[in-house]
Structures are given as C-alpha cells and as structure tokens.
Chain A
Amino acid sequence: EPEVTQTPSHQVTQMGQEVILRCVPISNHLYFYWYRQILGQKVEFLVSFYNNEISEKSEIFDDQFSVERPDGSNFTLKIRSTKLEDSAMYFCASSVGTGLIRSQYFGPGTRLTVT
C-alpha cells in the first residue's frame, strides 16, 4: 500500500540553525501539506501546496518557513532560523486532488528538537 515517507525521523538542531525536513508524498497525489504537533497538543495546519505554489497557509507559517517541491517526488519544509518553540513533530500529508474532498494521508513524522 502506498504511503507517505518522511526523513529524518528525528532531527536535533541548535537555535538559530536552518533545518530542512523532507517528505515523499504518495505518487499520484496532487496536494501536499505540512502540519505540526507540539508534544501533548493538537495537530496544527501549517501550509498546503498545489501546482507548485502555496494554496493556503496558517498564521504559524511566517517568513521563517518555506516549502518547495524540488523535483517530481520530494516535498520539503525549511525553517530558516529555528527557535526553541519550533520543537515539535512535523507531519507531511498528501491527498489526491480537487473535486469531492479527498482524505489526507499522513507520514510518520519528523521529531524536531531545538536546543
């Protein structure tokens, strides 16, 4: 069964450093998303991406964040200058596309620890 994959599973970085989280969405999916979950809290939407551009973003997704689809299979989230409060699980998700709402399928997550 196709699945979303994410690397690395755990990333430790120092405050102020740049990190790139990587995702490989399900191959025939057209919409891609990033969410985060701070320990003990709910899953929060960050950004959605379609047709090589951001289609919606939350207030969390400020200028420190960026997304990119550098090739036909990868989807990345970059945090330019990490802060302690960026420590969280980051989940990538993908869905088939428009029309009748399609369910979002999530990857296993990357645990980001900022020290």
Chain B
Amino acid sequence: EDQVTQSPEALRLQEGESSSLNCSYTVSGLRGLFWYRQDPGKGPEFLFTLYSAGEEKEKERLKATLTKKESFLHITAPKPEDSATYLCASGGYQKVTFGTGTKLQVIP
C-alpha cells in the first residue's frame, strides 16, 4: 500500500528563520510527487510537482527537492503569511495519496 509520511507534524518558526519540511514515500509506480498548501477550511492549493530524483522547483520563498525516497520543502526567510499546513502527496495517473501534513506557524 502506498504510504506518504511527513515530518515534523508541526513547526513553529520566527519570521526570517529558514527551515525544511520532510516527506518520505513508499509507493509503487511513482509518477509524481506533489506539494500543496492548505489553509484552515480551504481546499489544497497546488504548489509543485516533481517527477524525477534530483529535480528542484522554486516559487517565491519555497523550494521543493526530490530524491529517490524523500522530498523536502525548503522555506527561506518565511513570513507570517506562509503559515499554513503543507501537504505532500504522491501518485500516478489516478489516485493521489496524501500525507498528514506539516502545520507551519511563522511568528512575527
């Protein structure tokens, strides 16, 4: 069975304090590794798709990287508006399996 594990469960950062979120996966026939942001009561907001080991994607203060067994979401100099739950997911053409997320709080 596909499994996606995220750590830590929660992370509290001071504004400007960079850090990384981890996502490890064990799936059969991996086609893509996805990162989403979810605000309370809202739907997941697409951030990145990574397809192969060594690939990197960037968007503003966020950078996602992928190895054969893990993905990292690096947050550089975060701001309070980056506070959200960050979801990692993996899957193929159909089903996507989500992790439980990392709840990030950035304190001014």
Contacts and interface: CB of A to CB of B under 8 A. Distances in A.
Partners in one complex: yes
Contact of A106 (B32, B45, B94, B99): B45
Contacts of A4: 43
Contact of B98 (A44, A48, A55): A44
Interface string B88-108: 010111111111110000000
A68 interface: no
Contact of A103 (B34, B92, B98): B34
A55 B94 contact: yes
Contacts of B49: 101-103
B51 A42 contact: no
Given A101-B51, A103-B49, A109 B43 contact: yes
A42 B44 CA distance: 11
B93 A45 contact: no
B87 interface: yes
Interface residues of B, number: 25
Contacts of A104: 34, 46, 96
B31 A107 contact: no
B87 A105 contact: no
A15 interface: no
A91 B93 contact: no
Contacts of A91: 43-44
Nearest to A105: B46
Contact of A109 (B32, B42, B87): B42
B32 A103 contact: yes
A50 B96 CA distance: 15
Contacts of B100: 41-42
Given A42-B100, A101-B51, A48 B44 contact: no
Given A42-B99, A48-B95, 14 more contacts: A33-B96, A42-B100, A45-B95, A48-B94, A55-B94, A89-B41, A91-B44, A101-B51, A101-B91, A102-B49, A104-B34, A106-B44, A107-B43, A109-B42
